[in-house]
Amino acid sequence: MSNPGWGTSELAPWRTGADENTTISFSTNVKVNGVAIASGTYGLFMDVSENGDVQLIFSSNTDSWGNYFFDESEVVARAKTTWEEHSFTEYLEFTFHGFTPNSAYCALNWEEKSIPFEIEVDLNATVVEQLRRDLRGTARFSYIGPMEAANWCVMHETNLEEALEWATLAADMNPQFNTLFVKFEALKVLGKQDEAKKVMEQALPKGTVYELHSYGRSLI
């Protein structure tokens, strides 16, 4: 932190780049190194210490110039990380690596230093919210939309009561083996074994040889 010597700020962090504020945008709620941050766009600043400690600073101010107008009252979140030694990088760059279904690492690399931080999302909550939005649109006009939404929830064992509603909707729209099978799976995961058995009794006569073969293999 230092006094930039101009503007309104008397104590400001590094602007994480040059000229206009560097910004970072999240399309959904995330956690950055464990710190919760709401979806949106933020000015990205860093307080870098010589001992390796780094504070990532997310500001609601995204369109100022440099750090001359940094205002502590506009800080939305701070997260801690440490810099690491890195192969020489001529131009400042941001890279992404270490991808998992619900996280990735972003790293600022410049000269012989790297400043990494992990970005995480609640995968189940994020996807379920998107499924709800999709099913308020054209995805609901066909049985495929609610069937696939229900199947995703069943496969990930999340939002099961609503998944059963979606599976029931799909089966009512088109009572074929696939829709009934998803409803069967939802009931089974919810522990409603008797109801699940009745649904499967409806599904079996409707199955093709390939669908029944696939179901048989899953039982084996």
Q: Domain boundaries in the chain?
A: 23-120, 123-219
Q: Count CA atoms closer than 13 A to 41's CA, side-chain side.
A: 6
Region 190-194: mean pLDDT is 97
Q: Provide the pLDDT for residue 34.
A: 97
| pLDDT number for residue 214 | 93
Query: What would the pLDDT profile of 151-161 be if each residue is shown by its tens digit?
Result: 999 999 999 99
Distance separating alpha carbons of residues 207 and 101, to the nearest angstrom: 33
Sign of CA dihedral 31, 19, 15, 48: positive
Rounded to an integer, the average pLDDT of 121-139 is: 96
First-to-last C-alpha distance (Å) of the chain? 64
> Phi/psi of residue 5, each to 5°?
80, 5
What is the length of the chain? 220
pTM over 0.85: no
Task: Give which of 69, 11, 68, 78 is closest to 44, Cα–Cα.
Answer: 78
Residue at token pair 């919760």: 36
By three-state DSSP, how is residue 92 classified? strand
Q: What is the mean pLDDT of the chain?
A: 96
Mean pLDDT of 42-67: 95
Q: Which CATH architecture has domain 123-219?
A: Alpha Horseshoe (1.25)
